[in-house]
């Protein structure tokens, strides 16, 4: 059903036809919905979708079929909750169903709370692991910095050794045989 058809149906449902019946009955046959003269017709305050509910739903919280938001069914002017012709047995059934639904939701809430507790514990463990890893990273960084310092000293030492070897190659080296001959000549 298009939004225009919904609006037209709502307008027809709220206005009385000449014969005293709701004109919505004619259009209801066209779109497959039946709106009775006892139904409460109203718009969702969240999305504006046209809703219709049996008069016994007056004052109840329902979910909009269009947007899923919670909507309070209005109580028509002049109507009192006592006007609802629900028999005591039906009220008792609804009460038991409501209690069962409440118990299910409470159990679900407990399960979700337990899940939240477990997730909080997991988060604590993960944070502790992250801190331990951060400390290890800091230690590795410190070790790398120390190794870099040692490497710099080694490079400096090797450079000096290379320079020393290069300068030693420029000077004549006196051999053991030459020293002996020189000593003999001095004698």
Residue-wise pLDDT tens digits, 58-75: 888 899 999 999 999 888
How far apart, in whole angstroms, are the C-alpha atoms of residue 74 and residue 97? Answer: 23
At 83 the pLDDT is 56
How far apart, in whole angstroms, are the C-alpha atoms of residue 52 and residue 43? Answer: 8
In this prediction, residue 155 has a pLDDT band, given cuts at 50, 70 and 90, of very high
The dihedrals phi and psi of 63, each to the nearest 5 degrees, come to -100, 135
The dihedrals phi and psi of 50, each to the nearest 5 degrees, come to -75, 125
Residue with the two structure tokens 């017709």: 41
**Composition of the chain by helix, strand, coil, percent to 5:** 65, 10, 25
Average pLDDT over residues 116-126: 97
Looking at the predicted structure, is the pLDDT value of residue 13 above 50? no
pTM (two decimals) = 0.37
In this prediction, residue 7 has a pLDDT band, given cuts at 50, 70 and 90, of very low
**DSSP output for 1-52:** --HHHHHHHHHHHHSBPTTSSBTHHHHHHHHT----TT-EEEE-TTT--EEE
At 171 the pLDDT is 66
At 48 the pLDDT is 92
How far apart, in whole angstroms, are the C-alpha atoms of residue 175 and residue 95? Answer: 117
């Amino acid at each position: 059903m298009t939004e225009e058809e919904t609006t037209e149906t709502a307008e027809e449902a709220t206005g009385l036809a000449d014969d005293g019946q709701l004109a919505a009955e004619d259009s209801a046959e066209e779109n497959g919905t039946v709106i009775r003269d006892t139904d409460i017709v109203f718009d969702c305050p969240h999305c504006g979708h046209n809703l219709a509910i049996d008069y016994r739903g007056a004052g109840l919280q329902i979910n909009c079929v269009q947007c899923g938001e919670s909507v309070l069914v209005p109580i028509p002017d002049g109507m009192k909750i006592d006007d609802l012709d629900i028999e005591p047995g039906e009220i008792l059934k609804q009460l038991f169903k409501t209690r069962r639904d409440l118990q299910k939701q409470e159990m679900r809430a407990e399960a979700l709370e337990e899940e939240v507790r477990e997730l909080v514990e997991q988060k604590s463990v993960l944070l502790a692991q992250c801190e331990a890893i951060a400390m290890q990273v800091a230690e590795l960084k410190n070790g790398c910095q120390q190794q870099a310092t040692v490497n710099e000293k080694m490079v400096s030492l090797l450079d000096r050794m290379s320079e020393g070897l290069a300068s030693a190659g420029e000077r004549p080296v006196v051999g053991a045989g030459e020293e002996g001959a020189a000593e003999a000549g001095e004698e």
